[in-house]
Amino acid sequence: MQLTRTDIYVDGRWLRPDGTGRIPVENPATEETIAEIPAGTVTDVDRAVAAARAAFDGWADTTATDRAAALERLHDALAARADTLVETIGLELGSPRKFATRVQVGLPLRVLRGYVDLARQPAPAETIGNSLVLREPVGVVGAITPWNYPLHQVIAKLAPALAAGCTVVLKPSELTPLVAYQLFDAIDEAGLPPGVVNLVTGTGPVVGEALAGHPDVDMVSFTGSTAVGRRISHLAADRIARVALELGGKSANIILDDADLAAAVKAGIGNCLINSGQTCTAWSRMLVHRSRYAQALELAVDITAGYQLGDPFAPATRLGPLVSATQRERVRGHITRGLADGGRLVTGGPDAPVPDRGHFVAPTVIADVDPDSALAQEEIFGPVLAVIPFDDTEQAVAIANNSRYGLAGAVFAGDEERALAVARRIRTGSVDVNGGSFNPLAPFGGYKQSGIGRELGVHGLAEFTQLKSIQR
Ligand code: NAD
C-alpha cells in the first residue's frame, strides 16, 4: 500500500503543493515513520478556496437527487476500499482491527448512506402565511477535523455539506491524514464535479488558520479541542462567518442505586475505554450511588482486566496505543496529578506494565476522585476513568453538571422513567439511558464549552443551510 503522498487535491485534480515542506506520519504502535504528506501553505489554501468558490454556484444549482446520486457513487467507491481504510486507520492511529472495521469505517459508511437517503427526500419548502421559506446552501465550507475518528469526523461534515449544496475545502489532522487521502481517491473515482471537494493537508497554525480566516470561506465546520475551537471562533468572527464547533467533553455516567450494576459498569468501562479513551463523548466520570460503590469498583477491576493492550493487528487486542508520545505523556501526567490530588488507584496507573514500544497507557481506574479536581474537570483523552460516589440523585445531577463541558452522558437505573427524569436534568447534548445505543441519525453536539451546532442526520444537514423568506 502506497502511504506517502506528495499532492493536494484541488479543482478535481491531484496537484503539486506550493511549498516543499513535508510532515512525517508515525505509526503510534511501533513509533516508526510510515509516510510523509505535504505541509500545505497559505497559497495552497487560496487555490483550494478559489476552486470551491468557482464550483459553488453550479453545485448549489444541481438537484438534491443529483447530489444524492453523487454521494451514492462516493459511498460505493469508499465501501469498495473498506479493508484498506481499516488497515490505514490501524497503521496511523493504532485502532484495533475489529473496532476500526465496526466503528472507524463502518460508522462513516452508515452516515454517508444516511445522507444519500436524506438527499433523495428533500423536505418540501415551508409556507408561513404569505412567505415561502427556502433552505439554501451556506456556501464554501472550510472543514477542519481531528485525528481520533479520522474518517468519521470528515464524513460527518462532508456528506451533509455536499447534500445541502455546499462546496468544501478539507484540512484533516496532520497526525492521521492518510485515510483522508484514500477518501479523496474515492472522491476522484466517484467523479464529483471539479472544485466541489478539495483537500489541503498541513498544520493547524498554517493551513487551519488560513482556512478559518479566509475571506471567501462562508462557514467553518470544526471538530477538535475547545482551545482551538475558541481560536477558530475568533478568526471567523472578523467576517461574521458561520461556525459549527464540535469540541471536548467530560461526560458523566450516573449509576443509580437500583441499576443493573454489572451491566452499568461494563457499559461504562467500555464507553470510557473505546478508542483508548480518545473519544470526545467518553464517559470518563463514573458516578455511583454509595450503596453500590465498593461493588462497582470490584467489577471495574475485573472488567478492565479483560481489555488486552497491544498490537492493533493482533486479534486479541482490545486497546491500541494513544496517538502520539505527547498524548501519552499528557495522559500519564493527568493520572499522576489525579493521585496526588487524593484519588485512589484501583487499577492501572502511570507505571503499570505496557508494551516496550508504542505510546501505550494501561487502562486506569481511579476512585474517590474529588469532583472539583483536575481529574474530574479536564478532558484527559486517554484510558482513564474517575469514579465518584454520591448519596442521592440531587447530588449526582449536581456533580454531573459540575463541568464546563456538556457533550454527552449516561444514566443507569432499574426504572426507565426514573432514568429519563435524571437524563432530562443533565446539561449535555446527548444522554444514553440504560445502555441505549448510538444513533447516527440523531443530532450530535454539545452544550456549554462542548460546542455550537449539531452534526448528523437531518439536523446536521440543516447546519449547512440558511433560510430565505420570499413574500408573495
Ligand atoms: P485539535 O484541536 O488539536 O486539532 C483539531 C484540528 O484543528 C486539527 O486538524 C489541527 O491541525 C487543527 N488546528 C490546530 N490548531 C489550529 C489553529 N490554530 N487553527 C486552525 N486549526 C487548527 O484537536 P485534536 O487533538 O486533533 O483532537 C482531540 C480533540 O477533539 C479533543 O478535545 C476531543 O474532545 C475533540 N473532539 C470532539 C468531537 C466532537 O464531536 N465534539 C469529536 C472528536 C474529537
pLDDT of 61-101, one tens digit each?
Answer: 999 999 999 999 999 999 999 999 999 999 999 999 999 99
Q: How far apart are CA 283 and CA 261, in angstroms?
A: 16
Question: For a substitution probing ligand 1, which of 23, 92, 173, 331 has the most ligand atoms within 8 Å of its CB?
Answer: 173
Pick the catalytic residue from 26, 87, 209, 246.
246
Say yes or no: CB of residue 379 within 6 Å of ligand 1: yes
Strand order in the sheet with 197-199: 13-15, 8-10, 197-199, 167-171, 140-144, 219-223, 242-246, 451-452
Residue to substitute in 144, 234, 246, 251 for testing ligand 1 pocket (most ligand atoms within 8 angstroms of CB)? 144
Q: Please give the distance, rounded to the nearest whole angstrom, from the Cα atom of residue 401 to the centre of ligand 1.
A: 23
236 lines ligand 1 (CB under 6 A): no
Ligand 1 neighbourhood includes 432 CB (under 6 angstroms): no
pLDDT at 183: 98
Residue 122 is predicted with a pLDDT of 87
Q: What's the rounded Cα separation, in Å, for the pair 243 and 452? A: 8
Catalytic site includes residue 246: yes
Atom of ligand 1 nearest to the CA of 173: 9
pLDDT in tens, 91-131: 999 999 999 999 999 999 999 999 999 999 988 899 999 99
Strand 465-471 and strand 131-137: the pairing is: antiparallel
Q: Which residue has the cell 440504560?
A: 434
Look at residue 439 in the predicted model and tell me its pLDDT. 97
- Regarding the beta carbon of 233 and ligand 1, being less than 6 Å apart is answered no
Q: Answer yes or no: are the C-beta atoms of 144 and 134 closer than 8 Å.
A: no
- Confidence (pLDDT) at 14: 98
Confirm whether pTM is higher than 0.75.
yes
Query: Which residues fall within 8 angstroms of residue 295, CB to CB, at 6 or more apart?
Result: 261
| pLDDT over 90 (residue 224) | yes
Say yes or no to pLDDT of 177 above 90.
yes
Q: How far apart are CA 353 and CA 310, in angstroms?
A: 11
| N-to-C CA span, the chain | 59
Count the alpha carbons within 13 Å of 309 in the hemisphere toward its beta carbon.
23
Residue type present at position 354 = V
So what's the pLDDT on residue 73?
Answer: 98
* pLDDT given for residue 147 in this prediction: 98
Which protein residue's CA is at the shortest distance from atom 34 of ligand 1?
A: 248
Q: Which atom of ligand 1 is nearest to the CA of 450?
A: 41
Res 1 pLDDT > 90: no
Strand order in the sheet with 131-137: 126-128, 131-137, 465-471
Closest by CA to 338, choosing from 371, 373, 372, 385, is: 373
Pick the closest to residue 359 from 325, 313, 409, 408 (CA basis).
325
CA of 223 to the centre of ligand 1 (A): 5
Give the residue from 439, 442, 440 showing the smallest Cα distance to 459.
442
Distance 222 CA to ligand 1 centre (A): 7
Which regions of 60-108 does DSSP assign to beta strands (E)? none
The confidence score (pLDDT) of residue 123 equals: 85
Q: Give all domains of the chain, ordered by start, each with its CATH number.
A: 8-247+450-471 (3.40.605.10), 252-439 (3.40.309.10)
Q: For atom 18 of ligand 1, which residue has the closest CA?
A: 205
pLDDT digits (tens, 9 = 90+) for 307-322: 999 999 999 999 999 9
**Closest C-alpha to ligand 1, atom 13:** 204
When pLDDT is averaged across residues 387-403 and rounded to a whole number, the result is 98
Q: State in Å: Cα 229 to ligand 1 middle.
A: 7
When pLDDT is averaged across residues 447-462 and rounded to a whole number, the result is 98
Residue 148 CB–ligand 1 contact under 6 Å: yes
Mean pLDDT of 253-267: 98
Please say whether the beta carbons of 255 and 264 come within 8 A. yes
Q: ∠ CA 185-187-191 to the nearest 5 degrees?
A: 115
Residue type, 290: R
